[in-house]
């Protein structure tokens, strides 16, 4: 019996020493296993002597030997795990690669155009405020672009909207997205709450801040009790969500033929926070959109009863917002489609 | 328009600084800014130079002792013109000069200086000066400079919205200030008198001229204007001509109504006719040009010839000259649209036409006429020979009903009747009576922009201040309608393309004809009035723009081009939204790891096909023979994209002669998004149960004649699958050509996928089905199994 305990102790001691020197350690564990539990192992040998013992002794010694076997096996297994973990750690340590070129893997990445992205961002905000999206036409008639919007022929309001006309046709390229208001009101019945994003055309030379083509988002809300106060609220929510911060806004009286009262909206300059900079020309404010209450003549043009309905409308320039938001100082950059620019956003 | 700050003060008493005034006017709807002048300093006083000594350490400096009447200062001065006895502006320690220049106590070359003697330039009163400013020696000492310099003024620039022609004058702006500050503006003193009417004015175009006041003044002496007139004209940017012309301009700047003075001796047969011009009638005008008129133009004529283009420009012949002694003075109201049409056609914009286009007042016309007559007799002598006034009876002030509750209802906040009435009163709008809750408002004729109730409501909101309107963020309901088209489709297409590494481009909708020609494209819409060749027509394809982008980027040493654009194209089918995709060069940018894995694909027809099928919203979109390929495609490498037999786009390799700019091929696809939006609207992929039993794969390789179209093979597969057998899917994984196969033969390898919905298939069942398929391929298309 002492014999078994001694053999077990001897085996466990040997096992403890495994791995203190560094080579062939898994084999060392196997060798210990063979030496004690193999066919001719020291513990196995004791079992062989059992046959010459009494039943009493057999029971006693047999169970002692089995316990020793289990203990040794467990110890062997634990040691094996410990050693293989150690070996794996070492192996991985040796496998360390140079990580530095990883970000130079130029996996093809696509980019959305900054204007298209801005239109989408803006539309999403308006949709979240309950607006529906309507897409208008780019070729329009004088009626939709001007007359129905209370801009008669030979009215000085036309001076600000130099128009491209089409040859051999009564049509023109829309100078603003406002004709969308007329189409929407002709096609739907109040309550109306829509935006009309789209491309507009002005017959003017292109420079850093002008372009013959740009994009607008028109908004129109018509109902039985729509107020100026609500217009202010909607635009405030829009601006705050777009810029992700509470931005000071101010409404200045202005004039558009198709709204009355009309206002122009300034926001606190997003670049300097109102201190005055190059972009806001030192004023601390950026003029960002025009708006107002729908003029009764516009309702009359679409055969709505101006006594029953009121409404508000607004129009904003997408490029202007994008340029403020992303610090772009030349509008022409937006239409060059230089991949070095497209890939920035 | 330029406005003099001091001149405004003649009409309304206010104590705002120019900057404060600008802000107030801007928030009334008149964008105003300071352009020049004004006392932009603090702590500058009048002082006298008592003596001047040379600076011991500097040749060009002097040391002056300066007195403000009670205290003496030692000032170091560098100006050569400083001299004892002069009265000068002295900036004290702590003074701030324009440009935020702060005066501090300092030592100059070892001598301390208690301030600075200023030049006009330093005070911002002149753009440059040679030396210090020398003041009138009789001025009291120790006074604030801005108090003694009575003639310093600030010039404001105002921008008027098109509806507010009434503000294009000093009285007009003064009225706005008065309305906001609740004051009554003072008008210039007008003396009227009784005059003879000689009945020489004949208004023929009664629809275009609603008032015409003509006066003949004789014994006039034409001479230069006095300084107070020329000064004010100059401040407002108007050139002085002579006293008569200057008076008409002065009155226009003051009251806003354009006037015209004729040399009466040039008016033949004592007749002044206001009529439409005859076609081809000509007139030589003050701008030195001769204009040809037509029957849309309103003119002032004598019995025979035009003497002025009404409201636009006067005739050269009838202008006021130094020798003129008889003046015919016109104050008239013309139709705004007519004036605008003529001015635009003749390409002339004058101060008069600008005001007439915006509408003038029949009441101010009369005031202006008298005001000018008063000034002429005061400054040029002469006497009124006769005065004639043609005024149509319809010239009446507008009367508008205003419902008090409507104001609050439209603006969204409570505003009481007393406030409303008060605002209107100070705007010159009279409330003469009321019927229950309705105020009856009479609007002065110069406010021709106020036509109905909402216009009055705007006035109330504007004067009360837009900032008073509360911000209501809980907004009213949502729209009753559903989107007119499926924006989600476009969004999905963009997201897919971006995910595949494509960049979105945006090009102008215009094209040059020569660019369209290059791609064999026609145009359907030509611009009538383009600014340059670049926008002569509307694009009929997105290809031109995208190709320009490709060439530009290749010029920037970028070889992998993957671009797409969503935009309108305009052709004989009208205006519609399409998606253009252009790809060329390596599919991926170079990377060292590609080398070892030999993964360096470049775009070709098939890769492009993969991109397109990947982005399309369902498997129902298919490739088919392109029966009407665009001419820019290589005829052998193009395909149509069809949806249930309907063509929704095409793609292909561009003709090689179009692709000189690149190595390899350029692939272009144009997809009719609007079409897809229409047919694919509201389509949802419904859920299919996942098979419970495993599928079995079989690879087969077959040999076909090259003349057999692949789509025919495809059709057989699809038909077999449609029949609901155990063949559930198939794909082409290899295409092989070799002489070993035989002449004009081609081999395809397919991977077939078999599955039964209710059991696991065994080999025999699968083999039997494959044999059946092969039999069909053989029977219909002569295709055999490859050995």
Reported as a single tens digit per residue, the pLDDT across B715-724 is 899 888 888 7
- Chain A contacts of B410, Cβ < 8 Å? 227-228, 293, 310
Given a cut of 80, whether residue B176 has pLDDT beyond it is: yes
**Token pair of B541 as six digits:** 């394809």
B163: nearest CB among A133, A137, A255: A255
Given a cut of 70, whether residue B541 has pLDDT beyond it is: yes
Residue whose structure tokens are 């601006």: A239
* Count of all residues that appear for chain B in the document: 787
Q: DSSP string of B13-78?
A: -----HHHHHHHHHTTT-EEEEEEES---EEEEEEEEEEEEE-TT-SS-EEEEEE-SS-EEEEEE-
Between B619 and A292, where is the model more confident? A292
Report the percent of chain B where pLDDT is more than 70.
97
A270 and A137, same domain (yes or no): yes
A124 and A91, same domain (yes or no): no
Between B270 and B631, where is the model more confident? B631
Q: Report the residue of chain B nearest A334, measured CA to CA.
A: B506
| Residue that finishes a domain, picked among A67, A96, A125 | A96
Which run of H or of E encompasses B91?
strand B87-97
In CATH, what number does B42-152 get?
2.40.50.140
Query: Model confidence over B11-51: pLDDT tens digits?
Result: 999 999 888 999 999 999 999 998 877 777 889 999 999 99
The 3-state DSSP class for residue B200 equals: coil
A123 and A271, same domain (yes or no): yes
| Residue that finishes a domain, picked among A96, A122, A143 | A96
Assess if residue A105 is contained within a domain: no
A16 and A72, same domain (yes or no): yes
**B509/A169 CB distance under 8 A:** no
The verdict on B187 touching A (C-beta cutoff 8 Å) is no
* Count of all residues that appear for chain A in the document: 345
Report the percent of chain A where pLDDT is more than 70.
97
Assess if residue A144 is contained within a domain: yes
> What is the predicted pLDDT for the residue at B409?
94
Would you tell me which residues 350-369 of chain B have a C-beta closer than 8 angstroms to some C-beta of chain A? 357-358
Between A88 and A108, where is the model more confident? A88
The verdict on B467 touching A (C-beta cutoff 8 Å) is yes
Taking Cα atoms as reference points, which of B755, B614, B775 lies closest to residue B700? B775
Between B334 and B37, where is the model more confident? B334
Mutate to test the interface with A, among B340, B450, B452, B504 (most CBs of A within 10 A): B504
Given a cut of 80, whether residue B170 has pLDDT beyond it is: yes
Provide the number of CB pairs (under 8 Å) joining chain A to chain B. Answer: 261
The verdict on B2 touching A (C-beta cutoff 8 Å) is no
Query: Model confidence over B668-679: pLDDT tens digits?
Result: 999 998 888 877
**A164/B483 CB distance under 8 A:** no
**A164/B473 CB distance under 8 A:** no
**A223/B477 CB distance under 8 A:** yes
Between A19 and B515, where is the model more confident? B515
The verdict on B475 touching A (C-beta cutoff 8 Å) is yes
pLDDT band at A213 (very low <50, low <70, confident <90, very high): very high
pLDDT band at B481 (very low <50, low <70, confident <90, very high): low
The verdict on B212 touching A (C-beta cutoff 8 Å) is no
> What is the predicted pLDDT for the residue at A237?
93
> What is the predicted pLDDT for the residue at B198?
83
- For chain B, the average pLDDT equals 90
pLDDT band at A122 (very low <50, low <70, confident <90, very high): very high
A262 and A156, same domain (yes or no): yes
B357: nearest CB among A156, A230, A334: A156
Query: Model confidence over B307-323: pLDDT tens digits?
Result: 999 999 999 999 999 99
In this structure, what is the dihedral angle of CA atoms A89, A95, A96, A101, given to the nearest 10 degrees? -150
pLDDT band at B362 (very low <50, low <70, confident <90, very high): very high
The CA distance from A91 to the nearest CA of chain B, in Å, is: 24
The 3-state DSSP class for residue A192 equals: strand
Whether the Cβ atoms of residue A40 and residue A33 lie closer than 8 Å to each other: no
The 3-state DSSP class for residue A306 equals: coil
**A254/B161 CB distance under 8 A:** yes
d(CA B405, CA B417): 9
**A132/B29 CB distance under 8 A:** no
Mutate to test the interface with A, among B359, B412, B539 (most CBs of A within 10 A): B412
d(CA A201, CA A308): 34
Same topology, domains B2-38+155-181 and B398-468? Answer is yes
- Chain B contacts of A175, Cβ < 8 Å? none
Task: Give the lowest-confidence range in A61-65, A143-147, B173-177, B339-343.
Answer: A61-65
Burial B298-331 (b: 16+ CB within 10 A, else e): bbbbbeebbbbbbbbbbbbbbbbeeebbbbbbbb
**B503/A342 CB distance under 8 A:** yes
Rounded average pLDDT over B491-510: 94
Q: Report the residue of chain A nearest B532, measured CA to CA.
A: A205
Taking Cα atoms as reference points, which of B451, B721, B705, B528 lies closest to residue A203? B528
In the CATH hierarchy, which fold is given to the domain comprising B696-785? Alpha-Beta Plaits (3.30.70)
Assess if residue A104 is contained within a domain: no
> What is the predicted pLDDT for the residue at B619?
80
**B472/A229 CB distance under 8 A:** yes
> What is the predicted pLDDT for the residue at B477?
61
Given a cut of 80, whether residue B272 has pLDDT beyond it is: yes
pLDDT band at B263 (very low <50, low <70, confident <90, very high): very high
Given a cut of 70, whether residue B227 has pLDDT beyond it is: yes
A85 and A120, same domain (yes or no): no
Q: Report the residue of chain B nearest A309, measured CA to CA.
A: B410
Given a cut of 60, whether residue B485 has pLDDT beyond it is: no
**A199/B340 CB distance under 8 A:** no
Given a cut of 90, whether residue B591 has pLDDT beyond it is: no
Whether the Cβ atoms of residue B11 and residue B4 lie closer than 8 Å to each other: no
Query: Model confidence over A135-180: pLDDT tens digits?
Result: 889 999 999 999 999 999 888 888 777 899 999 888 999 999 999 9
A280 and A337, same domain (yes or no): yes
Query: Model confidence over B74-96: pLDDT tens digits?
Result: 999 988 899 999 999 999 999 98
Q: Is the peptide bond before B3 cis (omega within 30 degrees of 0)?
A: no
Rounded average pLDDT over B221-228: 94
Query: Model confidence over B501-520: pLDDT tens digits?
Result: 999 999 999 999 999 999 99
Whether the Cβ atoms of residue B598 and residue B584 lie closer than 8 Å to each other: no
Structural domain boundaries enclosing A72: 2-96
pLDDT band at B480 (very low <50, low <70, confident <90, very high): low
What CATH number matches the domain at B398-468, 3.40.50.2300, 2.50.20.10, 3.30.56.10, 3.40.50.300?
Answer: 3.30.56.10
Assess if residue A210 is contained within a domain: yes
Task: Give the lowest-confidence range in A22-31, B138-147, B608-617.
Answer: A22-31
Given a cut of 90, whether residue B482 has pLDDT beyond it is: no
B503: nearest CB among A111, A253, A296: A111
Name the most confidently modeled range: B249-258, B607-616, B754-763: B249-258
Angle ∠(B278,B280,B285) on CA atoms, nearest 5? 95
B506: nearest CB among A159, A173, A337: A337
- For chain A, the average pLDDT equals 89
Rounded average pLDDT over B336-359: 94
Please provide residue A222's backbone torsions phi and psi, each rounded to the nearest 5 degrees. -130, 135
Rounded average pLDDT over B211-236: 93
Whether the Cβ atoms of residue A209 and residue A333 lie closer than 8 Å to each other: no
> What is the predicted pLDDT for the residue at B7?
94
pLDDT band at A206 (very low <50, low <70, confident <90, very high): confident
> What is the predicted pLDDT for the residue at A106?
67
Given a cut of 70, whether residue B699 has pLDDT beyond it is: yes
Q: What ranges make up the beta strands (E) of B606-664? A: 621-625, 633-643, 646-654
Residue-range domain boundaries for chain B:
2-38+155-181, 42-152, 201-391, 398-468, 487-680, 696-785
Diameter of chain A measured on Cα atoms: 128
Mutate to test the interface with A, among B484, B498, B557, B593 (most CBs of A within 10 A): B484
What CATH number matches the domain at B201-391, 3.90.1170.50, 3.40.640.10, 3.50.40.10, 3.50.80.10?
Answer: 3.50.40.10
A79 and A142, same domain (yes or no): no
Whole-prediction pTM = 0.81
A250 and A317, same domain (yes or no): yes
> What is the predicted pLDDT for the residue at B228?
92
**Token pair of B739 as six digits:** 């002489």
Assess if residue A102 is contained within a domain: no
What CATH number matches the domain at B487-680, 3.40.50.300, 3.40.50.1000, 3.40.50.2300, 3.30.930.10?
Answer: 3.30.930.10
Given a cut of 80, whether residue B688 has pLDDT beyond it is: no
The verdict on B411 touching A (C-beta cutoff 8 Å) is yes
- ipTM of the shown complex: 0.81
**Token pair of A40 as six digits:** 């001719």
**B498/A112 CB distance under 8 A:** yes
What CATH number matches the domain at B2-38+155-181, 3.40.50.410, 3.30.1180.20, 3.30.56.10, 3.30.9.10?
Answer: 3.30.56.10
Query: Model confidence over B731-773: pLDDT tens digits?
Result: 888 888 888 888 889 999 999 999 988 888 888 999 999 999 9
- Chain B contacts of A337, Cβ < 8 Å? 505-507, 545, 549, 552-553, 563
The CA distance from A315 to the nearest CA of chain B, in Å, is: 17
A110: nearest CB among B476, B502, B527: B502
A73 and A158, same domain (yes or no): no
B528: nearest CB among A133, A165, A230: A165
C-alpha A66: how far from chain center: 64
Residue B660, CB-side half-sphere exposure with 13 Å CA sphere: 3
Given a cut of 60, whether residue B483 has pLDDT beyond it is: no
| Residue that finishes a domain, picked among A64, A96, A128 | A96
Q: Report the residue of chain A nearest B537, measured CA to CA.
A: A166
**B527/A166 CB distance under 8 A:** yes
A119 and A148, same domain (yes or no): yes
Given a cut of 80, whether residue B229 has pLDDT beyond it is: yes
Given a cut of 90, whether residue B275 has pLDDT beyond it is: yes
> What is the predicted pLDDT for the residue at B388?
93
Query: Model confidence over A263-316: pLDDT tens digits?
Result: 999 999 888 888 888 878 888 899 999 999 999 999 999 999 999 999 999 999
Residue whose structure tokens are 């809300």: A221
Report the percent of chain A where pLDDT is more than 90.
50
Report the percent of chain B where pLDDT is more than 90.
64
The CATH number of the domain where A194 resides is what? 3.30.930.10
Domain count of the fold of chain A: 2
> What is the predicted pLDDT for the residue at B461?
96
Query: Model confidence over A33-64: pLDDT tens digits?
Result: 898 888 888 888 887 887 888 888 888 888 88
A159 and A291, same domain (yes or no): yes
């Amino acid at each position: 019996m002492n014999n078994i305990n001694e053999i077990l102790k001897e085996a466990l001691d040997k096992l403890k020493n495994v791995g203190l020197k560094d080579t062939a350690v898994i084999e060392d564990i196997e060798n210990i296993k063979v030496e004690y539990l193999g066919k001719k192992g020291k513990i196995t040998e004791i079992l062989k002597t059992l046959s010459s013992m009494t039943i009493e002794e057999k029971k006693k010694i047999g169970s002692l030997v089995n316990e020793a076997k289990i203990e040794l096996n467990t110890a062997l297994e634990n040691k094996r795990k410990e050693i293989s973990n150690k070996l794996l750690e070492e192996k991985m340590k040796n496998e360390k690669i140079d990580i530095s070129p990883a970000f130079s893997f130029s996996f093809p990445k696509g980019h959305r155009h900054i204007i298209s992205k801005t239109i989408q961002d803006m539309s999403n905000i308006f949709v979240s405020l309950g607006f529906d999206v309507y897409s208008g036409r780019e070729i329009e008639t004088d009626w939709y672009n001007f007359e129905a919007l209370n801009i008669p022929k030979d009215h000085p309001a036309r001076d600000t909207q130099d128009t491209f006309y089409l040859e051999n046709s009564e049509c023109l390229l829309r100078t603003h997205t406002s004709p969308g208001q007329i189409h929407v009101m002709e096609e739907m019945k109040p309550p109306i709450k829509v935006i009309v994003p789209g491309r507009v055309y002005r017959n003017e030379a292109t420079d850093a801040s002008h372009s013959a083509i740009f994009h607008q988002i028109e908004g129109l809300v018509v109902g039985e009790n729509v107020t100026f106060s609500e217009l202010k609220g909607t635009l405030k929510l829009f601006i705050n969500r777009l810029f992700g911060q509470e931005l000071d806004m101010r409404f200045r009286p202005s004039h558009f033929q198709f709204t009355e009262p009309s206002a122009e909206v300034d926001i606190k300059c997003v670049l300097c926070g109102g201190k005055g900079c190059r972009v806001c020309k030192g004023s601390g404010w950026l003029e960002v959109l025009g708006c107002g209450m729908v003029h009764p003549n516009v309702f009359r043009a679409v055969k709505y009863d101006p006594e029953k309905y009121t409404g508000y409308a607004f129009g904003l320039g997408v490029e202007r917002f994008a340029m403020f938001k992303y610090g772009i100082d030349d509008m022409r950059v937006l239409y060059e489609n230089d991949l070095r620019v497209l890939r920035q956003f | 328009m330029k406005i003099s700050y001091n001149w405004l003060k003649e009409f309304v008493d206010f104590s705002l600084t120019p900057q404060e005034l600008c802000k107030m006017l801007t928030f009334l709807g008149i964008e105003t800014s300071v352009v020049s002048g004004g006392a932009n300093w603090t702590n500058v006083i009048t002082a006298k130079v008592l003596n001047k000594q040379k600076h011991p350490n500097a040749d060009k400096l002097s040391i002056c002792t300066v007195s403000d009447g009670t205290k003496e200062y030692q000032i170091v001065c560098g100006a050569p013109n400083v001299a004892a006895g002069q009265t000068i502006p002295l900036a004290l320690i702590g003074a701030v000069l324009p440009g935020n220049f702060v005066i501090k106590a300092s030592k100059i070359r070892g001598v301390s200086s208690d301030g600075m003697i200023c030049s006009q330039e330093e005070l911002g009163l002149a753009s440059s000066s040679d030396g210090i400013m020398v003041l009138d020696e009789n001025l009291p000492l120790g006074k604030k400079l801005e108090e003694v310099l009575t003639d310093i003024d600030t010039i404001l620039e105002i921008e008027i919205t098109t509806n507010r022609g009434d503000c294009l004058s000093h009285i007009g702006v003064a009225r706005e200030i008065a309305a906001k500050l609740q004051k009554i503006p003072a008008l210039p003193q007008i003396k009227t008198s009784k005059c003879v009417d000689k009945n020489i004015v004949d208004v023929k175009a009664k629809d275009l001229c609603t008032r015409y006041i003509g006066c003949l003044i004789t014994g006039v002496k034409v001479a230069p204007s006095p300084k107070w007139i020329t000064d004010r004209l100059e401040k407002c940017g108007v050139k002085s001509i002579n006293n008569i012309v200057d008076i008409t301009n002065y009155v226009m700047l003051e009251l806003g109504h354009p006037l015209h003075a004729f040399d009466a001796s040039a008016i033949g047969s004592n007749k002044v006719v206001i009529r439409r011009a005859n076609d081809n009638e000509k007139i030589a005008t003050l701008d030195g040009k001769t204009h040809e008129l037509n029957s849309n133009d309103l003119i002032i004529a004598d019995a025979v010839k035009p003497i002025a283009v009404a409201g636009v420009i006067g005739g050269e012949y009838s202008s006021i000259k130094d020798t003129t002694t008889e003046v015919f003075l016109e104050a008239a109201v013309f139709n705004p649209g007519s004036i605008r049409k003529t001015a635009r056609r003749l390409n002339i914009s004058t101060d008069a036409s600008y005001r007439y286009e915006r509408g003038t007042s029949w009441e101010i016309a009369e005031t202006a006429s008298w005001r000018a007559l008063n000034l002429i007799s005061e400054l040029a002598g002469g006497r009124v020979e006769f005065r004639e006034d043609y005024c149509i009876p319809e010239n009446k002030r507008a009367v508008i009903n205003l419902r008090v509750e409507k104001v609050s209802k439209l603006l969204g906040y409570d505003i009481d009747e007393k406030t409303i009435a008060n605002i209107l009163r100070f705007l010159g709008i009279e409330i003469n009576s009321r019927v229950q809750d309705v105020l009856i408002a009479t609007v002065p004729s110069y406010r021709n922009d106020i036509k109905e109730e909402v216009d009055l409501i705007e006035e109330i909101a504007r004067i009360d201040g837009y900032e008073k309107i509360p911000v209501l963020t809980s907004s009213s309901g949502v729209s009753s309608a559903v989107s007119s088209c499926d924006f989600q489709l476009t969004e999905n297409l963009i997201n897919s393309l971006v995910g595949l590494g494509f960049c979105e481009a945006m090009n102008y909708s215009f094209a040059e004809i020569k660019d369209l020609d290059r791609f064999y494209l026609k145009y359907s819409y030509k611009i009538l009035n383009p600014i340059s060749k670049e926008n002569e027509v509307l694009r009929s394809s997105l290809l031109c723009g995208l190709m320009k982008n490709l060439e530009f980027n290749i010029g920037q040493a970028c070889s992998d081009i993957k671009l797409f654009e969503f935009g309108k194209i305009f052709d004989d089918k009208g205006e519609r939204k399409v998606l253009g995709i252009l790809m060329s060069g390596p599919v991926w940018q170079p990377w060292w790891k590609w080398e070892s894995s030999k993964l360096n694909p470049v775009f070709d027809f098939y890769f492009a096909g993969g991109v397109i099928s990947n982005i399309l919203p369902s498997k129902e979109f298919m490739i088919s023979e392109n029966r009407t390929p665009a001419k820019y495609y290589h005829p052998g490498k193009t395909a149509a994209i069809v949806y249930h037999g309907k063509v929704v786009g095409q793609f292909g390799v561009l003709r090689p002669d179009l692709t000189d700019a690149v190595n390899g091929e350029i692939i272009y696809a144009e997809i009719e998004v609007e079409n897809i939006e229409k047919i694919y609207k509201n389509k949802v992929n419904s859920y299919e149960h996942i098979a419970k039993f495993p599928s079995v794969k079989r690879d087969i390789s077959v040999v076909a004649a090259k003349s057999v179209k692949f789509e025919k093979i495809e059709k057989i597969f699809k038909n077999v699958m449609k029949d609901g057998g155990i063949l559930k899917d198939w794909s082409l994984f290899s295409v092989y050509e070799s002489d070993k196969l035989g002449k004009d033969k081609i081999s395809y390898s397919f991977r077939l996928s078999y599955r039964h919905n209710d059991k696991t298939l065994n080999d025999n069942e699968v083999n039997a089905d494959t044999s059946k398929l092969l039999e069909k391929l053989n029977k219909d298309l002569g295709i055999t199994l490859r050995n």
